[in-house]
Amino acid sequence: MKNKIPSSAITPEKIYRQRREIMKKAGVGVGLSAVAAPSAGALFGLFGDDEPAQPDVAVYQPKPLTISKKVPNNLTEKLTPESKVTSHNNFYEFGTNKTDPIENSKLFNPEPWTIEIDGEVKQKVTLDMDAIFKQHAIEERIYRLRCVEAWSMVIPWLGFPLAALLKQVKPTSKAKYVAFQTLYDPERMPGQNSRFSSIPFPYVEGLTMAEAMHPLTLMSVGLYGKTLPAQNGAPLRLVVPWKYGFKSIKSIVKITLTEQQPPTTWQALAPNEYGFYANVNPEVDHPRWSQGSERRINDGFRAERIPTLMFNGYQDEVASLYKGLDLRKFY
């Protein structure tokens, strides 16, 4: 195939980092140890470190996946190395620092897993991962991922169109929106436990029916040829490439089709900063980040700043979804 990923682009997975341990050892016994606090929550004793001790190696290791359906890929941009895709994550369920999820998810086992689909459907279902793998052909989709914090990656996802899953449950005519929910289990997701938790859990997200049925919208079960690592949203997550990363909800346990627009976590938290649509838009700035450009995370130490594209470069495919919508108002 013409656009096959060159094997040189695939970086082998690095050994798990032990930053936390190193930081603790280096905790110079002066007031400055506060500076060296590895996580925001661990600044003073007051916040406590609720997280259980983590093993050196994760209990769940991603398994190789076979691509059962070849799809063309037009994206020629360089892939972000796997080691960076799996060590730089926003997944507050495992902590608020970028390196927290890989550290704090080592005890997280996504097996067994079930996902429930209900609401405005003719056929409610509860599926386990075996059923999902049996019913859907796995494709590889290389997408840009643009975080609202103005960094971006290029990731080879594995998955299947969300539309295929939704057709299975036969939406009723009242189904206008799709609501998603992440697992709520503070025992397994230590970030949900934090006494000073900054966001309400469970994490929820939503799409319009048209967005959910769009062929680019992916239910991802893997990346870089393997099942998803815990920190990337194992075992099942959403990937909506033309929206800011926070829309692509991880570790989904429930999908509900609704008539009313469902609440979404970041919008509920700061409605002036995050909208329901959250389409990548270089014209509409976030109060704290310019959205005109982004730092593309690649193999170099310094992520290069590149211009951000309208709808993250998927304008031709998705612009028609928003015809007549004021994107400044509906950000």
Partner 1 sequence: MVRAILQRHMSVIKALVHLAIAAPLAHLAWQTWQGQLGGDPVQYLTHFTGKGALNLLFITLLVSPFAKRFKLAPLFQLRRLLGLWVMAYASVHLAIFIYLDLGNDWALLFNETLSRPYILFGMLAFAVLLALSITSHNGIRKRLGRQWQKLHNWVYLAAVLAPVHYYWSVKAGLAEAIIYLVVAGWLLFLRRQKLWAPVKKCWHACQAPKASKPVTRQSALNHGNIHKT
The binding site for Mo-molybdopterin comprises 89, 92-93, 147, 182, 232, 237, 248-250
Q: Tell me: does residue 268 bind partner 1 (CB under 8 A).
A: no
DSSP H helices in 127-224: 129-135, 162-168, 209-213
Size of the site for partner 1 (CB under 8 A): 49
Per the rule left: phi > 0, alpha: psi between -120 and 50, beta: everything else, 41 is: alpha
Rounded CA separation 160/216 (Å): 10
Contact 317, 151 (CB under 8 A): no
Contact 331, 279 (CB under 8 A): yes
Rounded CA separation 86/102 (Å): 7
Q: Which of 69, 78, 174, 305 binds partner 1 (CB under 8 A)?
A: 305
Q: Tell me: does residue 12 bind partner 1 (CB under 8 A).
A: no
Rounded CA separation 161/66 (Å): 16
Q: Which of 96, 168, 193, 258 binds partner 1 (CB under 8 A)?
A: 96
Site stretch for partner 1 (CB under 8 A), options 15-23, 71-79, 203-211, 321-329: 15-23
Q: Tell me: does residue 9 bind partner 1 (CB under 8 A).
A: no
Site stretch for partner 1 (CB under 8 A), options 57-65, 206-214, 281-289, 319-327: 281-289
Own/partner long-range contacts of 288-291 (Cβ < 8 Å, ≥24 apart): 289/148, 289/149, 289/150, 290/150, 291/148, 291/150
DSSP string, 8-20: GG-PPPPPPP-HH
51: Cβ contacts below 8 Å, ≥ 6 apart? 95, 104, 190, 193
Residues 150-189 that bind partner 1 (CB under 8 A): 151
Q: Tell me: does residue 328 bind partner 1 (CB under 8 A).
A: no
Nearest-approach distance from CB 86 to partner 1, in angstroms: 8
Q: What six digits make up the tokens of 245?
A: 């990363």
Q: Side chain identity at 141, as an amino acid letter?
A: R
Q: Which of 58, 65, 79, 85 binds partner 1 (CB under 8 A)?
A: 85
Site stretch for partner 1 (CB under 8 A), options 41-49, 70-78, 135-143, 201-209: 41-49
Q: Which of 130, 259, 283, 285 binds partner 1 (CB under 8 A)?
A: 285
Rounded CA separation 275/260 (Å): 16
Rounded CA separation 3/76 (Å): 8
Q: Tell me: does residue 199 bind partner 1 (CB under 8 A).
A: yes
Q: Tell me: does residue 131 bind partner 1 (CB under 8 A).
A: no
Q: Tell me: does residue 284 bind partner 1 (CB under 8 A).
A: no
Q: Tell me: does residue 83 bind partner 1 (CB under 8 A).
A: yes
Contact residues for partner 1, defined by CB under 8 A: 14, 17, 19, 22, 26, 28, 30-32, 34-36, 40-41, 43-44, 47, 80-81, 83-88, 92, 96-99, 102, 149, 151, 196, 198-199, 269, 285, 287-288, 290, 293, 295, 297, 301-305
